[in-house]
Amino acid sequence: MEYIQGLEGLYINDETAVTLGKFDGLHRGHQKLIRRTRGFARQGLKSVVFTLDFNRKGMLLTREERRAMLEKQGVDYLVECPFLPEVAHMEPEEFIRGILAEKLHAREVIVGADFHFGYERKGDAHLLMELQKIYGYEAEIIKKETYNGREISSTYIREALEKGEMELAKDLLGYPYFVSGEVLHGRHMGGRLLFPTTNLIPTTRKLLPPNGVYVSRTHLEDGRILGGMTNIGYKPTVGEKFRGVETYLYDVDEDLYGADIRVELLHFIRPERKFESLDALREQMEKDIACGKEFLK
């Protein structure tokens, strides 16, 4: 997969099928568009995922995570377009002509029914249909994927995660919500006094569910998948300055510092608490660990 940042160097010397949107989360609705876009490979078109990126907090996927997922799915080009004033102020037809037609050689344009673009969000699926003959592409408008009678959207998933509803988030995403990164050193108290854990410190832009303890499943680089219990938060008993994602893994006893791991958060168990002593915390962690084992069975 080739990825292109911004509009400056943007030029694709192939005929393409392009899908447009914010694409935070790559949820089941997004997947439908991407599958369709990739399907045009049969007609000799390269697939392009064109994302409009807002610099916001509460992202479901970091850039790296999204890139890795799209790469795996066999997308040919990922264009990450920051939502700058020159993009926000572009007249919709200018976007279609200048970008879709001239820079991307779009022959197919695939969007969801509610997609809006260009100055004052004046561009929509209807306009894409109207101008398709003039600019030499075919527009395909995809019906929105729903769940429980509500349209799936990044907003819906953020709401689920903010309530710790990991099962709902998984159903909307089509995969369990996860945090990924390099295992860092903690204070090394865990191994000596409590339980050994892997520590991740995600970017503050990544949305985390409420602080607390979760049943999790961790993917290691070598393909192993291990059950575990994850604590998200500031560890108030020992008092930490950053919000970490810390996992006790079942059935493993090895040094994982420096490893790249992906921790899937499956089920909320309880909120994080401040304990009066490490002994009291250890006792609670023992219960958590037993409870998680039962859940994973």
Ligand X SMILES: Nc1ncnc2c1ncn2[C@@H]1O[C@H](COP(=O)(O)OP(=O)(O)OP(=O)(O)O)[C@@H](O)[C@H]1O
Ligand Y SMILES: Cc1cc2nc3c(=O)[nH]c(=O)nc-3n(C[C@H](O)[C@H](O)[C@H](O)COP(=O)(O)O)c2cc1C
Dist. CA 77–CA 71, nearest whole Å: 9
Q: How far is the CB of 295 from ligand X (least distance, A)?
A: 29
- By beta carbon distance, the residue nearest ligand Y is 186
Nearest one of 190, 177, 153 to 60, comparing CA atoms: 177
According to DSSP, the β-strands at 106-112 and 16-21 are parallel
Q: Which of residues 237-296 bind ligand Y (CB under 6 A)?
A: 237-238, 246, 248, 272-275, 281, 285, 288
Q: E strands, 161-239, where?
A: 178-182, 198-200, 212-219, 225-233
Residue 112 binding: pick among ligand X, ligand Y, none (C-beta 5-8 Å cut-off by kind): ligand X
DSSP string, 132-169: HHHHT-EEEEEPPPEETTEE--HHHHHHHHHTT-HHHH
Q: Which of residues 37-56 bind ligand Y (CB under 6 A)?
A: none
Classify residue 225 as exposed, middle or buried by CB count within 10 Å of its CB (0-12, 13-18, 19+).
exposed
Residues engaged in binding ligand X (CB under 6 A):
20-24, 29-30, 32-33, 111-112, 114-115, 142, 144-145, 151-155
Q: How far is the CB of 139 from ligand X (least distance, A)?
A: 11
Q: Which residue number, 20 or 229, has a Cβ lying nearer to ligand Y?
A: 229
Q: Which residue number, 170 or 217, has a Cβ lying nearer to ligand X?
A: 170
Q: How far is the CB of 222 from ligand Y (least distance, A)?
A: 22
Residue 84 binding: pick among ligand X, ligand Y, none (C-beta 5-8 Å cut-off by kind): none
Dist. CA 168–CA 161, nearest whole Å: 8
Q: Which residue number, 30 or 105, has a Cβ lying nearer to ligand X?
A: 30
DSSP state of 66: H
Residue 87 binding: pick among ligand X, ligand Y, none (C-beta 5-8 Å cut-off by kind): none
| Residues engaged in binding ligand Y (CB under 6 A) | 186-190, 194-195, 197, 199, 213, 229, 231, 235-238, 246, 248, 272-275, 281, 285, 288
